[in-house]
Amino acid sequence: MRLGLKIDVDTLAGLRRGVPVLVRVLGQRRIRASFFVALGPDNSGRAVFRVFRHRGFFQKMLRTRAPAVYGLKTILSGTVLPAPIISKYAADILPCLEDAGHEVGLHGWDHVRWHDGLLQMSAEDVKKEVNCAQEAYTHILKHPARSFAAPGWQASAVSRAVLAEAGFLYASDTRGQGPYWPCFGTEKNFLLEIPTTLPTLDELWGFGGLSSQDFFQLIASRLIRGQPQIFTVHAEIEGGPCLPQFASFLDQVLAQGVEFFALEDWARELLKDPQKIPVAEVCQGRLPGRAGTVSRQAGQEAAV
């Protein structure tokens, strides 16, 4: 059983508080993970406007106890409080991530802007978001990022064209069943996509009384031999109030013989034989427990 651990860092609090404790927990278990960090303004407070656009958003905030999980400062960031630029606080943290052996990729510039508005953004707007994030990343780590994970699992033909042109090795922008070449209508994009294949804690936490511990038991039960899976966690949640349950989950699956891998390593492995990677269409769809829609892998077609 193989499991790729994808850790999204959406906020300044996630970077400063969640990342260091996750690095410690992973280091104690010799697990290598892939961290994807948003580096622009932390406009988390503006997410409140999803109440008017995304069905189920308010219920999700109540179910997951968002104010307690994220903290008042994050909840108000970008509205009542100024939006801090996350990259200004990342100079010491990102090099420590690399030194610890983890992959560090981009999770966009303005996380909320991409999450809520990508499908209406022009190519120039998308290029600005990607270039700002890449410039900040390169300034800190002295080399460009090789991977990108879209905020909110939002991908479009425009965004994928921009990412392919920017020279990334792969992206992890969608939800799906396995790696593929994305297709938008008749337009194929040959930047490898490695989708998240398992549900996330914030989607199922609280449904029918499901506890965080119950959730991790569910994830452990879905790991299948011979079928690598991608599991996305969040620095703000698994690196915050649910850290003990997450650590117990890691111990459990390690005892079951699960091997962890960084997404970058799997991408390089897959790209050795690109003809075996299937083509699949990307569509917008809903997922249980997630407000709004996400970009999803449709039924796979024949291999390229």
pLDDT tens for the chain, residues 1 to 304:
999 999 999 999 999 999 999 999 999 999 999 999 999 999 887 665 444 355 555 455 555 555 666 766 777 677 768 889 999 999 999 999 999 999 999 999 999 999 999 999 999 999 999 999 999 999 999 999 999 999 999 999 999 999 999 999 999 999 999 999 999 998 899 999 999 999 999 999 887 788 999 999 999 999 988 899 999 999 999 999 999 999 999 999 999 999 999 999 999 999 999 999 999 999 999 998 887 899 999 974 433 3
State the pLDDT at residue 241.
93
State the pLDDT at residue 207.
79
How many structural domains does the chain have?
Answer: 1
Sign of CA dihedral 96, 18, 106, 195: positive
Rounded to an integer, what distance in angstroms lies between the CA atom of residue 82 and that of residue 46? Answer: 11
State the pLDDT at residue 60.
57
Q: Which two tokens stand for residue 208?
A: 């029918």
Q: Dihedral angle at the C-alpha atoms of 218, 219, 221, 222, nearest 10 degrees?
A: 120
Q: Do the beta carbons of residue 162 and residue 122 sit within 8 Å?
A: no
State the pLDDT at residue 48.
55
Q: Which two tokens stand for residue 248?
A: 């117990």
115 contacts: CB under 8 Å, gap ≥ 6: 47, 151, 152, 154
Rounded to an integer, what distance in angstroms lies between the CA atom of residue 106 and that of residue 139? Answer: 13
State the pLDDT at residue 246.
98
- For the packed helices 212-221 and 243-255, what is the interaxial angle rounded to 10 degrees? 20
State the pLDDT at residue 51.
43
Look at residues 12, 20, 13 and name the one whose alpha carbon lies nearest to residue 39. Answer: 12
Q: What is the pTM of this model?
A: 0.91
State the pLDDT at residue 304.
32
What CATH number did the domain enclosing 54 receive? Answer: 3.20.20.370
| Residue 222 domain boundaries | 2-303
